[in-house]
A and B are shown apart, each in its own frame.
Chain A
Amino acid sequence: MTEIVAVLDYGMGNLHSAAKALEKVADGQKIVVTSDPQVVATADRVVFPGVGAIRDCMRELSGRGFDQAVREAASRGTPLLGICVGMQALMSHSEENGGVECLGVFPGNVVHFGERHSEFGDRLKVPHMGWNQVRQSQPHPMWAGIPDFSRFYFVHSYHVSGVPENQQAGTCEYGLEFPAAVCRGNVFAVQFHPEKSDPHGLTLLENFLRWAP
């Protein structure tokens, strides 16, 4: 049977990039952009992309019943990939927009970069925007074929913090070291945009389509 990969569409803008990149690397899987939690409930894999502000994101998610669908996919064992705000939404709490409760799949918080400086003393620009290196802090099937310290495209002003080390799959350095990828069982989530990080990001998406946690 054809595998169904559900890409969550909850009205937050450009979620089609992720779908287009997945289509590019798909090997027979059907990529379905969906706003129906029922489709998520029966999908073989779930991709949870995200852009924009967390308050709107959580409101749209729960308004459509996606909050429950994502939690269930995570506990059911369905391979789940969170991207950017999708990763942040999997944490317990975000300090963005005056504080927002998130899905609590990981025991972390989302905090602002604040005012930080490089090793040369320049003030670092926020958002953290552009191609940065990811250190693979533990081996993982999602890293297959991707050299350690490869560059991926980031764009974010908030970062994840407080995720236990054994749930960190990769870290990135921007004024401080922060989790760039987190993992727990069947869930993998990244702060960067694999769909915009040709070539290694596409390899990561390809790995996700093959991943059998």
Chain B
Amino acid sequence: MGLAKRIIPCLDVDKGRVVKGVKFESIRDAGDPVEVAKRYNDEGADEITFLDITASHEGRDTTLHTVERMASQVFIPLTVGGGVRTLQDIRNLLNAGADKVSINSAAVHNPEFVREAADRFGSQCIVVAIDAKKVSAESESNRWEIFTHGGRKPTGIDAIAWARQMTEYGAGEILLTSMDKDGTKDGFDIAVTRAISDAVTVPVIASGGVGTLQHMVNGVLQGGADAVLAASIFHFAEYTIREAKEYMVAAGIEMRL
């Protein structure tokens, strides 16, 4: 009885197709985003996250159109991220049917943008995406830093302090991706998930590294995540959402079945 933990399949979309990069490289085609999202909706996904990895302007228009199509067929919350830089970008996405937008590098370049966005549209629709990478040596105590450009560019910003700052500025949720784990299928970075979940008062979505259902359980029970995000294990039908939820329920986690 109570609030359920969430499973969020993530669609990486390039020029209107779902793709999934392994460590942001080799791309495999996984289908039409609207079809994929609909399937997840029907299987019982708790939300859908749509990451637009298209670089060009034409691509952005395709994205708005895809979000519109998705929103008329998918009746669970939809978060859209990737290239969100201005209040107008946010307005366009919300008008197209997104429920939340995820802000990543624009927040790093201009933290005030998060404050303005939360003031204008409400914290409930502002997700701040944090790409964290461990920078401490084995002998030191754990320290993670924010990276941009798909994990290539260090910023010198401490991940935990950043998560706190972003929630003070009005982020309603944190999407935390471990750059060390993303694409590895080795499981979440539990230590950073726990550290950030304990540091902020808003929900935290754990991302990066899911390869088994036990990894999702660990993200919640050990990492303290409120939601877990995964892509490839669902896209390539290794597991259904239903199987993942049943596994989590068996581990004692409150889920929506």
Contact = CB atoms under 8 A, between A and B. Distances in A.
A118 B1 CA distance: 11
Contacts of B119: 53
Contacts of B196: none
Contact of A198 (B71, B75, B91, B226): B75
> B-side binding surface: helix, strand, loop or mixed?
loop
Contacts of A126: 201-202
B98 interface: yes
A200 to B, nearest CB: 10
A155 B6 contact: no
A124 to B, nearest CB: 8
Contact of B2 (A17, A52, A118): A118
Contact of B124 (A16, A17, A127): A127
B116 to A, nearest CB: 13
Interface in B39-77: 41, 46, 71-72, 74-77
B155 to A, nearest CB: 26
Contact of A153 (B5, B77, B173): B77
Interface in A94-119: 118
Contacts of B136: none
A137 B77 CA distance: 26
15 contacts: A13-B94, A13-B121, A16-B95, A17-B71, A23-B72, A24-B75, A51-B122, A52-B121, A52-B124, A126-B201, A127-B173, A133-B2, A153-B76, A173-B2, A196-B99
B53 to A, nearest CB: 23
Interface of A: 13-14, 16-17, 20-21, 23-24, 51-53, 118, 123, 125-133, 149, 151, 153-157, 173-174, 193, 195-198, 201-202
B202 A127 contact: yes
Contact of B97 (A20, A129, A133): A20
B3 A174 contact: yes
A155 B75 contact: no
Nearest to A195: B75
A189 B204 CA distance: 29
Nearest to B197: A125
Nearest to A24: B75
A104 to B, nearest CB: 23
Interface residues of B, number: 35
B46 A131 contact: yes
B125 interface: yes
A157 B75 contact: no
B230 interface: no
B161 interface: no
Contacts of A13: 91, 94-95, 121-122, 125
Contacts of B123: 127, 157
A192 to B, nearest CB: 11
B166 interface: no
Interface in B85-109: 91, 94-95, 97-99
Nearest to A123: B201
A16 B67 CA distance: 12
B1 A127 contact: no
A66 B2 CA distance: 35
A127 B202 CA distance: 6
Given A51-B125, A53-B122, A133-B2, A125 B94 contact: no
A52 B91 CA distance: 13
A130 B75 contact: no
A198 B41 contact: yes
Nearest to B119: A53
